[in-house]
Structure 1
Amino acid sequence: MRKYKQVKEKKITFDMKQWEEVERRADACNKTTTSFIRDKAVSSEVRVLDLKGLAPLINDMRTISNNINQIARKANETNNLYAGDVEKLRKEVECLSHTLSQFVSTLQWKKV
């Protein structure tokens, strides 16, 4: 049986503002910075948000921004804005809004 536990050391770097915050929080908990960091790294709850479903939303946003640019170009060239273009844009924004609502309603934090 081993007399000492095996340990793993890891060097981490903080900028000065971050380090001051770590020290402030450790002091508030009456802990050393080392034990504070170790406790937070091991015992704090970690949650992950899966954003894989975001791709369709980003594609819809690209389509809408392309259409807005085309409408703006056409309006600048002709000093005219077509109702059909505006209606198409309105429908795409509505579709994007619906997609966003569906996506947000299905988001679930996963505990790690």
Structure 2
Amino acid sequence: MENKNKLRRPIQRIIRFSKEENRLINKKVEESFFPNFQNFALHMLIQGEVRHIDYSELKQLTMEIHKIGININQVTRLANQFNEISSTDIQQLKNELTALTETVQSNLATLIKLKERT
């Protein structure tokens, strides 16, 4: 009995679930960033919600933009090697890549703000 008084959280609550409820809750815990049910449930009970934003599309988009940048660098290198393209054209390509990157970042920042509000 003395050991319970030394615990940080000595009060225990018991809750029962149906098999379907348990399956749904386990799925939500797996989708969240919490390592276990206790942390998930504690956060849900105190905060009222768990927000998980899926950034997989953002990561994919970032990788694609990076690949475009690599392609531009390769074209630039070849163009310089064979003197086939002017430095103005190279600079224009770089400016367009920068503009694309800034547009994507701006749109993503807006989307993240909208997600945080909901």
TM-score normalised to the size of structure 2? 0.48
Higher relative contact order (CA 8 A, sep 6+): 1
TM-score normalised to the size of structure 1? 0.50
More strand by share: 1
